[in-house]
Amino acid sequence: MTANPKPGLRPECANFSSGPCAKRPGWTLEGLKGAPLGRSHRAKVGKAKLKAAIDLTRDVLQIPTDYRIGIVPASDTGAVEMALWSLLGARGVDVVAWESFGEGWVTDIVKQLKIADTRTLKAGYGELPDLSAIDFDRDVVFTWNGTTSGVRVPNGDFIPADRQGLTICDATSAAFAQALDWPKLDVVTFSWQKALGGEAAHGILILSPRAVERLETYVPAWPLPKIFRLTAKGKINEGIFVGETINTPSMLCVEDYLDALVWARTSGGLNGLIGRADRNFATLEAWVKRTSWIDFLAIDPATRSNTSVCLKIVDPAVATLDAKGQEAFAKGLAAKLEAEGVAFDIGAYRDAPPGLRIWTGSTVETADVEALTLWLDWAFAEEKAGLSVAA
């Protein structure tokens, strides 16, 4: 018998990646046999599939009827870029960042669009900036859930209903797992490969009536590539929001998204999905509370994500290592779990502090999270034993 025996329980699904995320429970390729492969997305059958995806998105996410929903290219990144290039510049901008993707939007606004009247409000990994310092008379760009830090805004209460500017929200790891405050949001984006485990490369762009008004009354000072154009002759291009996509979508990916949306609706809709993610997070949270070597990267419990859970290793033997040593330890721990086939892709994001990132969204089963915690303890003990031998 070894000093550190392997757990007897294994996750049935080892996919804990924060994107692309785990497929829905029970997913099979057979479920995609209705995809109109080889057909034009502009044919009647293609348009019907795309319109169904839009309608089911509205239904599951409880999106107001006067908000427009469009399927756009280039994943969440494409959806955000379309919004930034098409809407910003009419007034000053406050951009809020506390992790990698928020920092990316800062770069685009300041260095690419070169909007001179830009304020950046930043915080380090594990914290939120001071949300009370945001000026909502300006346009505001922020992420709802920081995928690479595990820090989210707790709710939309910090956004005033009588704001003058637009709120542009990157919600890619929040949608389908957290309650978005729709009246407080003018632009919302996400990608299929996050919370519902859809296939990559397609994004969703959601516009409020206020955002549409901006599009129809403001022309940016810079040229817009065709792929970013949301208007024609000064009016919103309504076709985008009924399934007439800007470029050719994959009908196989559309079918996969439809499959996930149908599962979501039959799993209790949005409330059911949030409940599943919350239970998964609670299981991981209970393990963190009883485990001395690990802690959340997010400092305030009220801001901890229930999807992309970021963890730091606080065991003194590891925490006192230099940055390279901590990174090597965390990577070694994750590699051991991958080699055992019990957890894939759970290392921290490349720009984040060393540690682990575990997806606990609604497509993950709680029993698999529980089994994973046993293996996390095993892998830590194995890696620390190697550290002691090296010392």
Q: Residues in the chain, how many?
A: 391
- Sign of the Cα pseudo-torsion (150, 155, 86, 256, in order): positive
Secondary structure letter of residue 304 according to DSSP: B
CB 16 within 8 A of CB 341: no
Question: Angle at CA 282, nearest 5°, toward 266 and 103?
Answer: 90
Q: How buried is 265 (Cβ within 10 angstroms: 0-12 exposed, 13-18 middle, 19+ buried)? A: middle
37-265: CATH number? 3.40.640.10
Long-range interactions of 108-116: CB distance < 8 A, separation 24+ = 108/81, 108/84, 109/84, 109/141, 113/84, 113/85, 113/88, 113/89, 113/222, 115/88, 115/89
Model-level pTM greater than 0.85? yes
Superfamily of domain 269-390 in the CATH hierarchy: Aspartate Aminotransferase, domain 1 (3.90.1150.10)
Domain boundaries, the chain: 37-265, 269-390
User: In which region does residue 355 sit, left (phi positive, over 0), alpha (psi from -120 to 50) or beta (all else)?
Assistant: left
User: pLDDT (tens digit, 0 to 9) for every residue of the chain, 391 residues total?
Assistant: 357 899 999 999 999 999 999 999 999 999 999 999 999 999 999 999 999 999 999 999 999 999 999 999 999 999 999 999 999 999 999 999 999 999 999 999 999 999 999 999 999 999 999 999 999 999 999 999 999 999 999 999 999 999 999 999 999 999 999 999 999 999 999 999 999 999 999 999 999 999 999 999 999 999 999 999 999 999 999 999 999 998 899 999 999 999 999 999 999 999 999 999 999 999 999 999 999 999 999 999 999 999 999 999 999 999 999 999 999 999 999 999 999 999 999 999 999 999 999 999 999 999 999 999 999 999 999 999 988 666 5
